[in-house]
Each structure stands twice: as structure tokens, then as C-alpha cells.
């Protein structure tokens, strides 16, 4: 039996707005959006990043879930995107609505990293490849 990591799905208030943010902030392309605008995907590489609206999430999880909120501390999980120009990507993302969470630093192993929050409050790491 083979198993592959295929999707990360973030539950958000507004799927089209979130897709627009990721396309403008990071240059990703929209892959799919339902006619109801309650689920969509963007092309990020080999793993699909997808978004579903809160109502769809509530229908999937009958016991509920904690919604990401910019007014609260972020969840202890991050999306990491690699690039050779961390500072430029962070600047573009901030110019398109991302919030700086942590300034760019170079780790002891030589990797340059910076942290943002998207418009829904999720953590995004922008880093050089290891």
C-alpha cells in the first residue's frame, strides 16, 4: 500500500478572498474553486494547499473546531514556503495583506527564515531551502 501527503486544508471565512491573497502575495495559481465558493485549491508544488469555508468545516466536524483568528495567538502549525529571496517574498506578502510575525533571521545551520501571518491568522514561514 502506498500513501502520499496530498493536501493541507485550511478552514477560512472567505475562500475566494483567501485564494486571491495567496495568488497576489506569493504568486501561486488558482487550481480549483467550487461554484459555491466554499472550497478551493491553489498550485504550490507537489502538495496542494486548499481552503474550505467555516460552514463546510462545521458540516465535516460535528463536534466543532477552533477557528484561526488574527486576534488570538496562532496555532502551533505553519505553512513553509522556500525561496532564494526571503526578504523580497516577505515584502511582497506584507504589501498584499500579510502581517509580519517574526523578523528574518539566519539560523545556525545557515537557513534564512522569516515568519508571517496570513489574512486568516495562519503562520507562514518563508525560508531558503536547506
Among residues 120, 123, 116, which one has the least CA distance to residue 77?
123
Among residues 58, 30, 44, which one has the least CA distance to residue 124?
44
C-alpha cell at 76: 502551533
CA distance linking residue 41 with residue 16, whole number of Å: 10
The model's pTM: 0.94
Rounded to the nearest 10°, the torsion over CA 108, 112, 117, 122 is -70
Ramachandran angles phi, psi of 91, nearest 5°: -60, -45
* pLDDT tens-digit profile, the chain (130 residues): 999 989 999 999 999 999 999 999 999 999 999 999 999 999 998 889 999 999 999 999 999 999 999 999 999 999 999 999 999 999 999 999 999 999 999 999 999 999 999 999 999 999 999 9
Amino acid at each position: 500500500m502506498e500513501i502520499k501527503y496530498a493536501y493541507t486544508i485550511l478552514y477560512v471565512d472567505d475562500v475566494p478572498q483567501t485564494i486571491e491573497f495567496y495568488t497576489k502575495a506569493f504568486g501561486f495559481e488558482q487550481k480549483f474553486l467550487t461554484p459555491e465558493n466554499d472550497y478551493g485549491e491553489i498550485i504550490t508544488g507537489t502538495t496542494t494547499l486548499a481552503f474550505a469555508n467555516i460552514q463546510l468545516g462545521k458540516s465535516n466536524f460535528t463536534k466543532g473546531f477552533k477557528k484561526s483568528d488574527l486576534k488570538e495567538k496562532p496555532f502551533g502549525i505553519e505553512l513553509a514556503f522556500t525561496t532564494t529571496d526571503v526578504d523580497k517574498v516577505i515584502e511582497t506578502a506584507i504589501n498584499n495583506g500579510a502581517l509580519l510575525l517574526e523578523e528574518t533571521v539566519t539560523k545556525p545551520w545557515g537557513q534564512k527564515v522569516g515568519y508571517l501571518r496570513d489574512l486568516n491568522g495562519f503562520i507562514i514561514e518563508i525560508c531558503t531551502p536547506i
